[in-house]
Structure 1
C-alpha cells in the first residue's frame, strides 16, 4: 500500500507542480489585458473570459516589438529610447544592468553558458559542474598570469544563484554533455544523471 502511494506521489507531484507553475505564468500574462481597452477585451467581444488570451497577446506584442526593432527606423527609435532611459538617475543604473545581463543571456552570439565543465570546487579533492562563460577581461586579465577562463557555478537546487570563478584553463575539464543535461543534473541534485 505504501509503495502504491509513493508511486502515485511520484506521478502526481511533478504534474501538479507543472500545472501550478503554468497557471501562475498564464494568469500573470492574462493581467496584460488590463491595458487593453474594455471594448476589445474577450469578455466584451464574446461574452466570457478566454484563459490564455493575455499570454497570446503578450507573445504577440513581444514578437511585434522584436520585428520593429530589427528594421532601420525601429533600431533608431530604440537607440533614442535607450538614451532617454540612461538620462534618468535611478532608472539608468537599473536598466543598464538588466540590459547587459539580458543581452548576454539571450544574444545568439553571447557567451552565456557555452559549455558544461567539471572543476575542482570548493577544494582540490571535490568536484562540481559549472558553465564556461568566457574569459576574464578588463583590468582583471592584467593581474592574472597564465590562461584563465570564466566559470559560473550554480547552486543546487536553485541554479539562478551561484558563484563566478576565474580558473586556470588547465583545471577546467570540458564535458561531453549539453548545457540542458548539466542543468537537469544540478537541479536534481545528481538524481537525474545524464545519459
Structure 2
C-alpha cells in the first residue's frame, strides 16, 4: 500500500512542470537532447510574444512616421537649418508631428469655440451627397470604439450559435431598441460575435435575452480566449464552480 502511494507521488513529480507566460511547460527528464529541446521550446514561449509585439509596434511607427516625414523634414531643414547626421529625412519626426497634431486637434475640439467649429464642419459635410454617408458611418464607428465615456462591450456572454447545441462567446453591447425590437415579440439584446483570431471583425446578432447566459470572466479574459482559439483559459481558484446563469431580465 505504501509502495503504491509512493509510486503515485513519483508519477506526480514526473508530470509536474513549470509555467512560462501562462503556459505549462512539462519538466524534462533524462538525455541532453531532450533538455536542449525543452530549453528551445521554452525560449520560443518567452521570445515569440516579445518579438511579435516589438515588430507590430515598429511597423505601426514606420507607417505613421511615413505619412508626414517627407514633408516635415524639408521644412525644418530649409527654414531652420535642422538636420540629422546629414540624412535627408529625420527618423521619427513624422510620428512626433502627427501625434502633436492629433493632441492639438483634440484640445481645440474640447473648448467652446472648437466645438462650434467642429459642429459647423459636420453640418457642411452632412449636406454633401455621398460624402455625408461615408463620413457619417466612419464617425459613428470611431465614436463607438474610441469614446472614453462608455464601454462598447458591456460584458462577455454565451449563447447557442450557429445551431442548437453549439455555443459561442460574444459581447453584449446593449438591449436592442428601435425598429428591430419593434418587429419582434421577445426582448432582444445586441451581441457582437468576434472572429478568431482577429476579434476586430465579426457579426452583429440580435438574440433573445432568455437565450443568453452571463459568463464569470472579464472582457479581457474573453478576448484572450477568442484570440488564442480557446488555448488561453481564464484562471480559477481550485474548487470554484461555474454556474450557468441567464441574463437578468
Q: Secondary structure at the match of 1:130?
A: strand
Q: Specify which of 48, 54, 70 is matched with residue 34 of structure 1.
A: 70
TM-score, normalised on structure 1? 0.88
Q: Secondary structure at the match of 2:50?
A: helix
Query: Residue in 2 aligned with 1:126?
Result: 166
Q: Mapping of 1:28-177 within 5 angstroms?
A: 28-31=63-66, 32-36=68-72, 38-40=74-76, 44-48=81-85, 51-110=91-150, 112-177=152-217
Q: Specify which of 17, 39, 54 is matched with residue 19 of structure 1.
A: 54
Instruction: Considering Cα pairs closer than 8 Å and 6+ residues apart, tell me whether 1 or 2 has the greater RCO.
Output: 1
Bigger helix fraction: 1
* Deviation at residue 14 of structure 1 after TM alignment: 2.2
State the alpha-carbon separation in 1 of the partners of residues 101 and 220 from structure 2. Answer: 28
**1:78 and 1:182, CA in 2 relative to 1: closer, same or farther beyond 3 A?**
same
TM-score, normalised on structure 2? 0.70
RMSD of aligned alpha carbons: 2.2
* Deviation at residue 184 of structure 1 after TM alignment: 1.1
State the alpha-carbon separation in 1 of the partners of residues 187 and 156 from structure 2. Answer: 18
Question: 1:178 and 2:215 equivalent?
Answer: no
Which ranges of structure 2 fall in alignment gaps of 5 or more residues?
A: 1-35, 236-249
State the alpha-carbon separation in 1 of the partners of residues 224 and 72 from structure 2. Answer: 39
Query: Residue in 2 aligned with 1:8?
Result: 43
**1:9 and 1:124, CA in 2 relative to 1: closer, same or farther beyond 3 A?**
same
Q: Is the 8 A contact 1:85 1:92 kept in 2?
A: yes
Between Structure 1 and Structure 2, whose CA radius of gyration is higher? Answer: 2
Q: Secondary structure at the match of 2:130?
A: helix
State the alpha-carbon separation in 2 of the partners of residues 37 and 53 from structure 1. Answer: 7
* Deviation at residue 177 of structure 1 after TM alignment: 2.0
* Deviation at residue 106 of structure 1 after TM alignment: 1.9
Q: Is the 8 A contact 1:26 1:54 kept in 2?
A: no
* Deviation at residue 51 of structure 1 after TM alignment: 4.0
State the alpha-carbon separation in 1 of the partners of residues 133 and 81 from structure 2. Answer: 41
- Matched residues, number: 194
* Deviation at residue 109 of structure 1 after TM alignment: 3.6
* Deviation at residue 134 of structure 1 after TM alignment: 0.9
* Deviation at residue 130 of structure 1 after TM alignment: 0.6
* Deviation at residue 25 of structure 1 after TM alignment: 0.7
